[in-house]
């Protein structure tokens, strides 16, 4: 009986530490892992790389955790869409650069999300590694994406009900990468009819299987509003940067998909061994 109580106590302490760790995670990520100048320099080199490729729109991803902490097959933790823009600054000047259109999880209410536009230095501010996932769409897809943002239609695809492992084949929950997929498909199919987009995704998109047992995920979901399996059937699959890259490559929607490192080197995603792919 004593052992029983001790073990339960031990488990609860671990559990509380874990919960604290997770919630502190959002705050920890607010603190940069690198110096401001390193983040600024890296962010600017990502921008210049994309601009050098002539990208008016591209998909961008960051890694917010050590690779060993990530489920097998997943490398990036946050994905968004960067649009080449004219940016009016608070000092009255106008500058050319990329605005990044994100779906961000609410730090307080973790089962909710918001659409927020930020800029490369904001995007990489809390990154664990100075590396970026970059998918440069074909010229036609870029134009369709730019038009979608010009017409302010991307916001119509937002579902504020958040889950980190959201099922991309229904509209019950959404995470940042599923939102990116929905925006991409909305641009390609010229529609914001979410039901139609989900049918199309089911027909053509291959989601990433989450390599964790359903029991573990189910138990973990008891301790976070940001993780639920209520939108899944037997299999737990979600959208990842790697699955987006494969989808776009499979249907000739992309010109290039790379991992951009802090030394400026790029690795083609197909050749990368652990590049967030299935």
Partner 1 sequence: MKNTRSTLMLTALLSSALFTHSAMADDSFDHSGKASKHSALAASEGLATTASVASAVVAVPVVLTGSAVVAGSAVVESAVNESARNLHQASHQSSVASNQPLVITETIITADPAPNQVVTTKTKVITTTTNTKR
Residues 57-96 that bind partner 1 (CB under 8 A): 62, 64-65, 69-71, 77-78, 83-91, 93-96
Cα-based distances in Å from 137 to 97, 178, 181, 247, 272: 18, 17, 12, 11, 19
Contacting partner 1 (CB under 8 A), which of 34, 42, 47, 257? 47
Contacting partner 1 (CB under 8 A), which of 56, 198, 232, 246? 56
Binding mask 95-134 for partner 1 (x = CB under 8 A): xxxxx--xxxx-x-----xx-xxxxxxxx-xx-x------
**DSSP label of 193:** -
Q: How far apart (Å, rounded) are the C-alpha atoms in residues 61 and 79?
A: 4
Closest approach, Cβ 182 to partner 1, in A, equals 15
Q: Which CB, 9 or 233, lies closer to partner 1? A: 9
- Name the nearest CA neighbour of 26 among 122, 113, 105, 120: 105
- Report residue 73 as tokens: 């097959």
- Residues of span 168-187 touching partner 1 by CB under 8 A: 175-176
- Name the nearest CA neighbour of 261 among 53, 82, 45: 45
- Report residue 272 as tokens: 């990368």
Q: Which CB, 164 or 275, lies closer to partner 1? A: 164
Q: Cα angle at 258 between 253 and 259, to 5 degrees?
A: 145
**259 neighbors 267 (Cβ within 8 angstroms):** yes
**230 neighbors 113 (Cβ within 8 angstroms):** no
Contacting partner 1 (CB under 8 A), which of 22, 156, 229, 261? 22
Binding mask 185-224 for partner 1 (x = CB under 8 A): -------------------------x-x--xxx-xxxxxx
Binding mask 134-153 for partner 1 (x = CB under 8 A): -----x--xx--xx-xxxx-
- Residue 158 engages partner 1 in binding (rule: CB under 8 A): no
Closest approach, Cβ 238 to partner 1, in A, equals 10
């Amino acid at each position: 009986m004593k052992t029983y109580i001790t073990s339960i106590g031990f488990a609860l302490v671990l559990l509380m530490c874990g919960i604290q760790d997770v919630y502190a995670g959002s705050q920890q990520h607010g603190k940069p892992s690198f110096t401001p100048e390193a983040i600024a320099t890296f962010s600017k080199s990502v921008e210049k790389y994309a601009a050098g490729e002539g990208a008016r729109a591209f998909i961008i991803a960051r890694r917010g955790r050590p690779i060993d902490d990530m489920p097998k097959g997943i490398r990036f933790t946050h994905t968004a869409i960067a649009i080449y823009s004219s940016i009016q600054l608070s000092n009255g000047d106008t500058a050319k650069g990329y605005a990044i259109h994100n779906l961000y999880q609410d730090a307080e209410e973790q089962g909710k999300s918001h659409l927020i536009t930020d800029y490369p230095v904001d995007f990489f501010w809390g990154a664990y590694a100075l590396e970026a996932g970059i998918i440069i769409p074909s010229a036609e897809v870029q134009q369709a994406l730019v038009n979608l943002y010009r017409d302010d239609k991307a916001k119509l695809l937002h579902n504020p009900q958040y889950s980190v492992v959201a099922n991309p084949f229904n509209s019950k929950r959404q995470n940042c990468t599923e939102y990116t997929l929905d925006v991409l498909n909305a641009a390609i199919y010229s529609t914001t009819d979410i039901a139609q987009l989900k049918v199309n995704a089911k027909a053509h998109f291959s989601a990433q299987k989450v390599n964790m047992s359903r029991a573990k995920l189910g138990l973990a979901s008891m301790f976070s509003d940001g993780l639920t399996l209520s939108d899944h059937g037997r299999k737990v699959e979600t959208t990842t940067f790697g699955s987006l890259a494969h989808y776009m490559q499979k249907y000739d929607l992309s010109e290039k998909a790379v991992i951009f490192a802090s030394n400026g080197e790029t690795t083609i995603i197909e050749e990368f061994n652990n590049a967030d792919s299935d």
